[in-house]
C-alpha cells in the first residue's frame, strides 16, 4: 500500500519533530544532573567572588586611609588582651622596682542597693477564722 504524498510528508515531519523532542529531552537530562548543577553553581560563585574582590580593591584604592583605619581598629579590637598585657609590661619595665607599688583603685558602682522586700501581712485561712469565731461565741 502506497501512502499519498501528503501523508508521507506528514510522517516525515512527525519523525523530524520526534527527533527534535528527544534531543531536547536528552539536553535537559544532561543539564539537570547533580554534577552539572554543582559545576554551574561553582562557576557562578567563582565569578561572583572575583567581582566582589575587584570591587573591594577599587574601594581600597579610592580610600586607603579610611580602610587602613578600619583595619587598624578591627585588629586592635581582636588583639585587645595581648595589647593590654604589653602595655602593663611596658609600664612595669618603666617603673623602678624600688618604688612601692600602689594598690589599684577599684571603681565603685554608683548604683543604689535594692530595697529590702516589703513585709506581707499573714492572714489566717478562712477555716481558722471561722473556728476562732466559733470558739469565742462558745466561750461567752
pLDDT tens across 16-40, in order?
999 999 999 999 998 889 898 899 9
How many whole angstroms separate alpha carbon 117 and alpha carbon 115? 6
Radius of gyration for the alpha carbons in the chain, expressed in angstroms and rounded: 44
Cell match 579590637: residue? Answer: 77
The predicted pLDDT at position 39 comes to: 92
Q: Where are the alpha helices (DSSP H) in 32-125?
A: 34-62, 64-78, 80-94
Q: Is the pTM of this model over 0.75?
A: no
Q: How confident is the model at residue 114 (pLDDT cuts 50, 70, 90)?
A: confident
Domain boundaries defined on the chain: 63-94
Residue 130 in contact with residue 136, Cβ under 8 Å? no
Please say whether the dihedral angle defined by the alpha carbons of residues 65, 67, 73 and 75, taken in this order, is positive or negative. Answer: negative
Q: pLDDT higher for 38 or 116? A: 38
The predicted pLDDT at position 118 comes to: 76
Q: How confident is the model at residue 106 (pLDDT cuts 50, 70, 90)?
A: low
How many whole angstroms separate alpha carbon 55 and alpha carbon 46? 14
How many whole angstroms separate alpha carbon 54 and alpha carbon 58? 6
pLDDT tens across 51-100, in order?
999 999 998 999 999 999 999 999 999 999 999 999 988 888 888 666 66
Q: pLDDT higher for 137 or 34? A: 34
How many whole angstroms separate alpha carbon 113 and alpha carbon 134? 47
The predicted pLDDT at position 115 comes to: 77
Q: How confident is the model at residue 4 (pLDDT cuts 50, 70, 90)?
A: confident
Amino acid at each position: 500500500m502506497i501512502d499519498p504524498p501528503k501523508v508521507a510528508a506528514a510522517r516525515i515531519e512527525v519523525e523530524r519533530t520526534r527527533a527534535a523532542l528527544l534531543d531536547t529531552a536528552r539536553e535537559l537530562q544532561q543539564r539537570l544532573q547533580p554534577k552539572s548543577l554543582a559545576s554551574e553553581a561553582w562557576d557562578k560563585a567563582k565569578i561572583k567572588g572575583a567581582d566582589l574582590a575587584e570591587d573591594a580593591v577599587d574601594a581600597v584604592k579610592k580610600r586607603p586611609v579610611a580602610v587602613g583605619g578600619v583595619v587598624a581598629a578591627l585588629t586592635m579590637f581582636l588583639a585587645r588582651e595581648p595589647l593590654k598585657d604589653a602595655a602593663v609590661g611596658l609600664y612595669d619595665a618603666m617603673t623602678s622596682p624600688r618604688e612601692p607599688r600602689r594598690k589599684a583603685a577599684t571603681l565603685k558602682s554608683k548604683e543604689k542597693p535594692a530595697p529590702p522586700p516589703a513585709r506581707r501581712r499573714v492572714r489566717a485561712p478562712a477555716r481558722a477564722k471561722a473556728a476562732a469565731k466559733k470558739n469565742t461565741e462558745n466561750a461567752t
